[in-house]
Amino acid sequence: MDIRVSVESATQYAGDAIIVAVFESAPLAGPAAEVDARLEGMIQRLAGSGEIRGKLCEITILHTQEKLPAARVAVVGLGKAAEADLFALRKAAGAAVRALRDRGCRRVGMALHDALSGARPEHSVRAVVEATYLGLYRGEERKTRQTLPDELDEIVMLAITDEHRDAASAVARAAQVAGESTNYARRLVNLPANDVTPTALAEQAVDIATRAGLDVDVLEPPQLRDLGMGALLAVASGSDQPARLIVLRHRGRTDGPRLAFVGKGLTFDSGGISIKPSESMHMMKSDMAGGAAVLGAMRAVAELKLPLDVTGVIPAAENLPSGHAYRPGDVLTAFGGTTIEVISTDAEGRLILADALGYAKHLGATHLVDIATLTGACIIALGHTTAGVMGNDNELVEAVMDAGERAGERMWRLPLFPEYRSLLDSPVADLKNVGGRPAATITGGWFLREFVGETSWVHIDIAGTSWSERNEPHQVQGATGAGTRTLLALAERMAGGAL
C-alpha cells in the first residue's frame, strides 16, 4: 500500500472513496461541509432525519454519482466535539478504512487530520496514518480458506498545504513504520505457540536485525548457565524448547543515554507445575506480547534511524509441567546472585525478566523499560483498555506516560510504596516470587524493582491491553501490538533530547 500526502482537497481527489468527519449534534464543518455542498445537502438531510448522528465510529457510505470525482464518501462520526480527542480520531480513522476496504475500495483519500481543532496537525496526521495500518490488519495469517477483499492500493492524506508537505510526508512515513511495526508484533502474538517457539522468536530477531541493520546476539543455554541465569533456565526447564536470551542493539548514537527495552517472551504459559485452569489456557500463546512489542519497537527504531542508543532484550521460554520442570518451593539464583523462593511456577514472567533486567543493566543501560503480560490482576484493576505503569524514577514514568498518550495507548500509574515490599519477604531466600492476592500487579512490579538497583526503570503491565476479546470497529479481535508504539514514542522523545 502506498501512503502519500497531497494538496488535493476532498472535492478534488478522484479515488474510490474519500473520508470526512462529522461530530454529534454539531453543524457540518470543513471537508464534510464542502463535500455536502457538492452533494446538494445530502449529508445534512441524513443528519436531519437521524440517519447520521455523528456517534464515534458510525460510518455512512454515500455514492456520489459523479457529483464528485471520488465514487464514494464515507462519513465517519467523531462523537461529541467536546470529547473528541486523538484517541477518538484514531478509532474513527481505523473504522472508516476498514469499512471501505471491506467494500472493495482500493484508493482512499482521507480528510480527517484537520477535524480536531485542539490538536497539532502533525499529531493528527500521525494518529490517522497509524490508525489506518492498525485498522487494515486482519490477523488471519493461518487461515487458508478465506476469500478476502483486496488490500488498499493507496491512502492519500488530502488538503495538505504546500508549505506543510515535507513535514507531513515525514510524519506520515514515521507513522507508517509505527503502524507496520505494531502489526508485525500483532502477527507474532496471534501466531500459535507451535509456530512461535523461543527458537523461532530468536530467528525473528535475527531476521529483523539483518533487514534493518541492528546488532543481534542470541544466547543459548550453555551461555545462560555460564552467566548464572538460573531464573530463565528454571522457567524453561519443563519444556523441550530451549530458552533463548535475545539481544538487539541499535547504535544510533555513541554518547548520551542508553535506553533498553526488556520484553517478556513467554511463548506459552501453561502455569507449569502450578498449572492454570484449562478453560482459557490457549490464550497463553500471547504471553510473549511484551517481547513482540520490543521486537516491533526495535524494528521501528532502526528503520527510522533514531539518533539514540537502544538495546532490546527478550528472555524467551516456554512454561510447561514435566519431570524436568521447576517446582514450587525451589530456590533459584538469578543473574547477579539474588535468590528467589518459587511460590508459584505460574509467576514465571517476573523470573525471566529478573535475569533479563539484570543483564540489560550489565550491558550498560542507563534507562530500563520492561513490558510484560505480567499479572491477571492488572486486568481486574484496569481492564483491557489501560496498561499499568510503575517505576522508580518519576521523570522516566512521566516520559513513558507521555509516550503512551502520543502513541494512543492508555496507561495508568500504580504506586510502588515501600509497604508493599514486605509482601515478598521469604523465610528462606532474598525474596519470593508471589506476594499473594492483594495488590498483585504492584507486587509483580516490586519484584522486578529488586533487579534494577538504582538504574532508572519503568515497568509496563500489558496483560489486559495486549489482547482484544472483541472485534471492534477500528480493529480486529486478537493481538493489539500493545506497547510497540509507546516504546517507539519514548525512543523518539529521548532521541529528540527530552527524557
C-alpha cell at 20: 470526512
Cβ-based burial of 472 (10 A; exposed 0-12, middle 13-18, buried ≥19): middle
Tell me the residue ranges of DSSP E strands in 154-285. Answer: 154-157, 215-219, 244-251, 258-263, 265-269
Residue 73 CB neighbour total at 10 angstroms: 28
Stretch 249-268 residues interacting with Zn ion (CB under 5 A): 266
Judged by CB, which is closer to ligand BES: 111, or 188?
188
* Residue 79 to residue 92: CA distance in whole angstroms: 9
Stretch 348-407 residues interacting with Zn ion (CB under 5 A): 348-349
CB of 435 to ligand BES, least distance (A): 7
Stretch 265-304 residues interacting with Zn ion (CB under 5 A): 266, 269, 287
Q: Which does 181 bind (CB under 5 to 8 A by kind): Zn ion, ligand BES, none?
A: none
Judged by CB, which is closer to ligand BES: 44, or 433?
433
Q: Which does 180 bind (CB under 5 to 8 A by kind): Zn ion, ligand BES, none?
A: none
Tell me which of 72, 350, 406, 432 is the catalytic residue: 350
Calculate the alpha carbon distances from 423 to 295, 427, 431, 446, 498 in Å: 33, 12, 9, 9, 36
Q: Which does 377 bind (CB under 5 to 8 A by kind): Zn ion, ligand BES, none?
A: ligand BES
Stretch 324-353 residues interacting with Zn ion (CB under 5 A): 346, 348-349
Residues that bind ligand BES in the complex, under the rule CB under 6 A? 269, 287, 344, 346-349, 373-377, 434, 440, 463
Calculate the alpha carbon distances from 246 to 101, 137, 265, 460 in Å: 37, 27, 9, 19
DSSP letters along 189-219, please?
Answer: HHS-TTTS-HHHHHHHHHHHHHHHT-EEEEE
Judged by CB, which is closer to ligand BES: 228, or 376?
376
Judged by CB, which is closer to ligand BES: 113, or 350?
350
Residue 451 one-letter amino acid: F
Q: Indicate if 276 belongs to the active site.
A: yes
Judged by CB, which is closer to ligand BES: 245, or 440?
440
* Residue 2 to residue 23: CA distance in whole angstroms: 29
Residue 27 one-letter amino acid: P
Site string for Zn ion, 404-423 (x = CB under 5 A): --------------------
Whether 215 contacts 251, CB under 8 Å: yes
Q: What are phi and psi of 488, to 5 degrees?
A: -60, -45
Q: Which does 344 bind (CB under 5 to 8 A by kind): Zn ion, ligand BES, none?
A: ligand BES
With both helix axes pointing from N to C terminus, report the angle between 289-303 and 165-190 in degrees, rounded to the nearest 10: 150
Q: Which does 375 bind (CB under 5 to 8 A by kind): ligand BES, Zn ion, none?
A: ligand BES
Q: Which does 239 bind (CB under 5 to 8 A by kind): Zn ion, ligand BES, none?
A: none
DSSP 439: T
What are the b/e assignments for 119-140, b being 16+ CB within 10 Å?
bebbbbbbbbbbbbbbbbbbbe
Size of the site for Zn ion (CB under 5 A): 6
Tell me which of 106, 173, 276, 413 is the catalytic residue: 276
CB of 229 to ligand BES, least distance (A): 18
Q: What are phi and psi of 283, to 5 degrees?
A: -65, -20
Considering the rule CB under 5 A, would residue 318 count as an interface residue with Zn ion?
no
Q: Which does 434 bind (CB under 5 to 8 A by kind): ligand BES, Zn ion, none?
A: ligand BES
First to last CA, the chain: 34
CB of 441 to ligand BES, least distance (A): 8
CB of 457 to ligand BES, least distance (A): 20
C-alpha cell at 72: 464514494
Judged by CB, which is closer to ligand BES: 292, or 489?
292
CB of 421 to Zn ion, least distance (A): 21
Structure-derived torsion over alpha carbons of residues 273, 277, 283, 287, reported in degrees to the nearest 10: -30
CB of 157 to ligand BES, least distance (A): 36
CB of 130 to ligand BES, least distance (A): 24
Judged by CB, which is closer to Zn ion: 185, or 352?
352
Residues 6+ apart with CB under 8 A from 59: 74, 75, 76, 77, 95, 96, 99, 473
DSSP 143: -
CB of 460 to ligand BES, least distance (A): 13
Q: Which residue is nearest to ligand BES (CB)?
A: 376
Q: Which does 355 bind (CB under 5 to 8 A by kind): Zn ion, ligand BES, none?
A: none
Judged by CB, which is closer to Zn ion: 291, or 404?
291
Q: Indicate if 305 belongs to the active site.
A: no
Residues forming the active site? 276, 350
Residues in touch with Zn ion (CB under 5 A): 266, 269, 287, 346, 348-349
